[in-house]
Chain A
Amino acid sequence: MSPWERRKRGGRYYTRSRKVNGRVVREYVGGGALGELAARMDAQERQRREEEAAAWREERECLEELAGLVDEFCEAVETVARATLLAAGFRQHKRGEWRRRRDQGTNTKE
């Protein structure tokens, strides 16, 4: 919906719509120069918010990517470390301490 409302007498009136308690409330700002000025200020504010949102989106994507890379690396290292422990004859006790398996001697080769 356009923020400009056309009056029966032919003039244009600038309005702002915002939500108050879930309902849209329309604020009547003014016509003529005042309306134009308010419209320009609102447009600038909108552009600033859009730019901020785009910058935040970009920063967030970048952070997600970095976190994803480190996650992938950490997971690979953890897998290799666990594999090495298991191959060397250890078992993890209740997701905590690693202990040598009872059936495993000091020789870890099969």
Chain B
Amino acid sequence: MTKELTPKNKLTVRPYEDRPVGCPPASDPAAMTKEEKEAHRDTVERLKELVEKAGKGDKNPLPEIRKILKESPELAWQIMDFAKYTESHHIKMMVKEEDPGLKEVLKAQLAFMREEIAGDNPSPLERLLAERIVLTWLQIQLFEDLYASSMPKSMTFAQGNYKQKMIDQAHRRYLSAIRTLAQIRKLGPAVQINIAEQQINTAG
């Protein structure tokens, strides 16, 4: 086991922050240029292709997967920025403009949930997965809220069905997010090598 793989212990515990020192600066997905967005999507798409191939038992894509993970330390953070952007859209829809206090309370609650789920000294992968759990949870709250608020009004059968379907999909995403984090945690620190190393690299 290398030094970077040292399991979490009380001495190395660092409080959860949205973006630890040394990580690439936060980017605003809304302010990203079309080329930047495409480049980011291309990287994820390429990674997806390779993962699909490797998932079928082909070992050839593995070196390229490792190369992408190693050479794109900003990837996890860009995805995280995208989550923040998506989260703000949800909050905007949930809370009216004239209630900024409630907006802040909700943001604080989400931050607290992220911190609690990610745990002490989380790797970027754990942060990503915690982010995913919180975002999918938020979506369920929004969809259920919209469904409940339209109950007293006249809602057609098709509309009710549609909203119920959206809630079901959100639930599936949420459960899938929890499952993935549980899998990663079950497998232990070994799977955190790639991204965690990048975190160290970027910090150094």
Q: What is A's interface to B at a CB cutoff of 8 Å?
A: 56, 59-60, 62-63, 65-67, 69-92, 97-98, 106, 108-110
* CB 8 Å contact bits of B34-74 with A (1 = contact, 0 = none): 00000000001001101100110100001101101100000
Tally the A-B contacts, defined by beta carbons under 8 Å.
123
Q: Answer whether A85 and B57 are a contact pair too, CB < 8 Å, given A80-B47, A80-B76, A106-B1.
A: no
Q: Is the interface of A mostly helix, strand, loop or mixed?
A: helix
Q: What is B's interface to A at a CB cutoff of 8 Å?
A: 1, 44, 47-48, 50-51, 54-55, 57, 62-63, 65-66, 68-69, 75-76, 79, 82-83, 85-86, 89-90, 93, 125, 128-129, 131-132, 135-136, 139, 142-143, 146, 159, 162-163, 166, 169-170, 173, 176-177, 180, 183-184, 187, 190-195
- Please tell me if the beta carbons of B187 and A90 are within 8 angstroms of each other in the complex: yes
- Please tell me if the beta carbons of B51 and A74 are within 8 angstroms of each other in the complex: no
Specify the chain B residue showing the minimal Cβ separation from A69.
Answer: B86
New A-B pairs, 18, CB < 8 Å, besides A62-B93, A70-B170? A60-B162, A69-B82, A69-B89, A70-B86, A73-B83, A75-B48, A76-B44, A77-B79, A77-B180, A80-B75, A80-B76, A81-B180, A82-B51, A84-B194, A86-B54, A87-B66, A88-B194, A108-B193
A12 to B196, CA, bound (A): 81
Q: Is the interface of B mostly helix, strand, loop or mixed?
A: helix
- Please tell me if the beta carbons of A81 and B93 are within 8 angstroms of each other in the complex: no
Residues of A within 8 A of B183 (CB): 85, 97-98
